[in-house]
Amino acid sequence: MERNIFYYTASKDDLRIEQLNRLLSFEKVAGDVKLETEYPGLKVDFNSGARVRLPIGDWHVRISDYNSGIVAFDDDISDCTLVAAEKYYICWHVEIWKDSELVFEHVLDLNGQEVFIFMAGGALGDSISLFPYLRVMQQSYHCKISLLPPNDDFKNILVMYFPDINLVDEVPEDAYASYCLAVFQFPPYLIPADSRMMTPGMAAQSLLGLPRKADWVVYTPTAERCIKEKYVCIAVQASGIMKRWLYPDGWERVVSYLKELGYRVLCIDGAAKVIADGHLIEMPSGAEDFTGMKPLMERVNLLAYADFFIGLGSGLSWLAHACGIPVILISGFSLPLGEFYTPYRVTNPLACHGCYNDVRVDWKEGCPYHHGTEREFECSKSISYFMVKKAIDRVVEDIHGSNI
């Protein structure tokens, strides 16, 4: 991408310096402006925002939102590249004058076009929640989608369950538009509103301009069942101490109870032991060690045959949900809109909870309300073993009836 870039914005606020590096990283992925016009040197595309490459000359450009009429740029300009700071779907209207004569006009229309999607972060839960919206975009606009996966581990998942999506290593040269798909918390340039105020699906809809919610995609197994006995999978680890269940001996008692019910209990975390913010979180001693950074399809083929899964507000819970099995989700740091719906969600509304979805605080710094006090992480510590046991009893009855 050339260096002579002028960023403009439809927002009434000035560009935020702290977001500039992130915007530049989008330009690096999108590359140079790609689509030629009838005028030599004049190029227009919608790869990572509405972009116009102008050669030297007497040019006037107006770029606006076609639907609302809000004008993002309207000025004389020469020999530079105009780039929108807003990276999500906007129905851009580009008008260009040369020597006071209107020579180019175009309204963004994705129908039948080559659309490039790249994904930021690569978090397991975020990715699984967003993948179905690629299909909605394809169906809504009848466009061809090329996807740069968040990392190689997702490729088998995408090939198996989303075969119509073209996987690529870089933006196609004929890409008409490009969007970055992620659960962003940085409005107004990367997403219209902070994703913590909405479900992941709603975030995807706002990023890609989609008219409807996606149908859930079930990850069916690709291999036969390898464990004959009935079993339950659990995961006690998560990114950040605030996501863990910190009730004393909670996991040990859960595993003991599951074994009393006749289940094998398989722990499928990426690691059996993790020290997070001074807290040692390790696999319960009674669980079987199936930990390790296994390929996702291997995890799918294990989860799909489990009676149910017990986990946290983390990626493996999303993966279990995608496999179509019941999920007991233990979470105090998030509100229900932060994850998928499950009738077996366990939280304690009588304790401080839901800080993740409070856009006024930086939950990444630990417990934002009670750090350093006896109430630190009370959202997690106040979810008792008996609350989780009750959820286990409900899911077992739903699966097997009163007789297990």
Strands laid side by side in the 80-84 sheet? 5-8, 80-84, 51-54, 43-47, 177-181, 114-119, 144-148, 166-167
User: How do the pLDDT tens digits run along the chain, 404 residues long?
Assistant: 455 888 899 887 777 766 777 788 888 888 999 999 999 999 999 998 999 999 999 999 999 999 999 999 999 999 999 999 999 999 999 999 999 999 999 999 999 999 999 988 789 999 999 999 999 999 999 999 999 998 888 999 999 999 999 999 999 999 999 999 988 887 888 899 999 999 999 999 999 999 999 999 999 999 999 999 999 999 999 988 889 999 999 999 999 999 999 999 999 999 999 987 778 889 999 999 999 999 999 999 999 999 999 999 999 999 999 999 999 999 999 999 999 999 999 999 999 999 999 988 877 767 899 988 999 999 999 999 999 999 999 999 999 886 55
Output the six-digit token pair for 196. 């913590």
Q: Does the annotation mark 126 as catalytic?
A: yes
Domains annotated on the chain, with CATH = 5-107 (2.60.40), 114-208 (3.40.50), 231-400 (3.40.50.2000)
pLDDT score recorded for residue 279: 81
What residues contact 294, with CB distance under 8 A and at least 6 apart? 268
What residues contact 121, with CB distance under 8 A and at least 6 apart? 150, 182, 183
DSSP 61-119: EEEEETTT--EEEEEEE-SEEEEES--S---EEEEEEETTEEEEEEE---TT-EEEEEE
For residues 326 and 317, give the distance between their C-alpha atoms in angstroms, rounded to a whole number. 10
Of the candidates 327, 313, 348, the one whose C-alpha atom is nearest the C-alpha of residue 199 is 313
Of the candidates 280, 283, 276, the one whose C-alpha atom is nearest the C-alpha of residue 236 is 283
What residues contact 219, with CB distance under 8 A and at least 6 apart? 157, 160, 161, 300, 304, 319, 322, 323, 324
* Residue 22: strand, helix, or coil: helix
Q: Within 142-240, where are the H helices? A: 155-161, 200-208
For residues 45 and 222, give the distance between their C-alpha atoms in angstroms, rounded to a whole number. 40
Q: Strands 273-276 and 327-330: what pairing?
A: unpaired
Q: Which amino acid is at 183?
A: V
Whole-model pTM over 0.85: yes
Given the residues 13, 14, 109, 126, the one annotated as active site: 126
